[in-house]
Amino acid sequence: MRYISTRAAQAPAAEGRRFCEILLEGLAPDGGLYLPAFYPQVNDSMLDAWRGVYHAQGYAALAYEVLSLYIDDIPAADLRALCEKTYTAEVFGSAAIVPLRRLDDGLWIEALSNGPTLAFKDMAMQLLGNLFEYELARRGEELNIFGATSGDTGSAAEYAMRGKKGVRVFMTSPQGRMSPFQQAQMFSLMDANIVNIAVKGVFDDCQDLVKAVSGDLDFKRKYRIGTVNSINWARLLAQVVYYFAGYIQATGSNREKVSFSVPSGNFGNVCAGHVARMMGLPIHQLVVATNENDVLDEFFRTGVYRVRTSADTHETSSPSMDISKASNFERFVFDLLGRDGARTRGLFVDALQRGGCFDLGPDPLFSQVASRYGFVSGRSTHADRLETIRTAWRNYGVMIDTHTADGLKVALERRVAGVAMVVLETALPIKFAATVMEALGREPERPARFDGIEALPKRVREMDADVAAVKALIAAECGY
Ligand SMILES: *Cc1c(COP(=O)(O)O)cnc(C)c1O
């Protein structure tokens, strides 16, 4: 399999890069995002075989089947071993890894949040940690991951990379802005290769630091600075697997269709659903659920993609979806435009830089968004979240977090008779306990392994938003 950029003038498949070449990279050199040159097709008999694989051998074996269609530069036995090492009942809490929980006839929640940090990002990040360690050892190289987080991404990255050979993580976060639970999760890690940096400032100050350090190309090269953000193709690919696992669990035969409702921010999660659908998985609709930061809902309703200013980006009670633009969205637009890289570049470079906006509404292709690609959308507010958390608890006896509530709210609006609806659970309620408390008047359950983590010793450096000081810290930790 070769990978091409969404901004390549023409798609010269044969000249594309291979999986391990793009594994450690972010954007393509032309500023686009990597996509496979084509989507391998899973026909009826293959899907039957995969059904058997998931039931008889489990999630790791299914992951190997999906991944091996996209990765041909890691020997099969090694790839299988990486999947088996990643997706274990010990790490993900059950043998099913992503069990479905029934709410009602044809209404399910797919549990993606029982990994080490209790958010779905573990599903991809845990695999990424093992892939990085494998590839870095093979090359005899090191990597220093330097990132900024306001919560879920940073902790998922740290729990995936802790103790991994060849990798260090330097993670900045705005001092005092994360929930006590999130701070405890990250700062209680004592692994030598994990460095937490609490920056005196807000999240944007952290992101500016990352940009400044990555923008110093000499420094970046010398210290091999990399990232693990959601545009990484390997992360997206890992997420494709649980759409297959969800489908297989919700159905008895391949004649049935299933819809997925996906709490969305950067469009990484639901883009993996798009890939699964393009591979031929019988998905009826992909329901994009946003919170008040509704840049995606606006696009799917009107064709207008309008990047928000920071003044126009709201702090909500589903904070992991508080985005001003959706960094993976360019991948879908590339497919929608018939893989026209020049036109995609035009929209994302020219149009966005000129006005922060483009409008595909008048284009006949836009009508295919629903009819051909299955996308529909909806949004919710804080009041909707509270109401949906109460509904789930009262009617179904299930406690859900604020992000999953956004997904369930829109799922209930989009349900159709005869098609199962699977809501992706993107975090456990304990991570966003204050809002769940507001809705239900009771504390969410806390998995036993997190008892008392707020009281554990913390390892974190407090620093000003000072580029030189951060560079000095990285250099000192690397010792060269
Ligand atoms: C990251 C995240 C999301 C949004 O996922 P995207 O892939 O960015 O669309 C939703 N919910 C939770 C809990 C998250 O951590």
| Tens-digit pLDDT profile for residues 209-222 | 998 998 899 999 99
- Section 228-236 average pLDDT: 91
Q: What is the pLDDT of residue 11?
A: 55
Contacts of 57 (CB under 8 A, 6+ apart): none
Question: What are phi and psi for residue 447, nearest 5 degrees?
Answer: -55, 140
Contacts of 180 (CB under 8 A, 6+ apart): 454
13 has a pLDDT exceeding 60: no
Q: What is the pLDDT of residue 29?
A: 87
266 lines ligand 1 (CB under 6 A): yes
31 has a pLDDT exceeding 60: yes
Q: What is the pLDDT of residue 12?
A: 58
321 lines ligand 1 (CB under 6 A): yes
The model's pLDDT over 406-454, given as tens digits with 9 standing for 90+, comes to: 999 999 999 999 999 999 999 999 999 999 999 999 999 898 889 999 9
15 has a pLDDT exceeding 80: no
Q: What is the pLDDT of residue 151?
A: 76
Q: Which atom of ligand 1 is nearest to the CA of 431?
A: 13
Q: In Å, what is the CA distance from 319 to each residue of 26, 142, 157, 386?
A: 24, 33, 18, 15
Known active-site residue 164: no
268 lines ligand 1 (CB under 6 A): yes
Least-confidence region, from 41-45, 107-111, 173-177, 389-393:
173-177
Least-confidence region, from 193-197, 241-245, 313-317:
313-317
Q: Which of 121, 164, 257, 431 is catalytic?
A: 121
Task: Give the span between the Cα atoms of 78 and 258, in whole angstroms.
Answer: 33
Task: Give the span between the Cα atoms of 347 and 349, in whole angstroms.
Answer: 6
259 lines ligand 1 (CB under 6 A): no
Q: Which atom of ligand 1 is nearest to the CA of 121?
A: 15
Mutate to test the pocket of ligand 1, among 269, 274, 329, 408 (most ligand atoms within 8 A of CB): 269
Mutate to test the pocket of ligand 1, among 113, 118, 121, 288 (most ligand atoms within 8 A of CB): 121
164 has a pLDDT exceeding 90: yes
Q: Provide, rounded to the nearest whole percent, the portion of the chain with pLDDT above 90.
A: 84
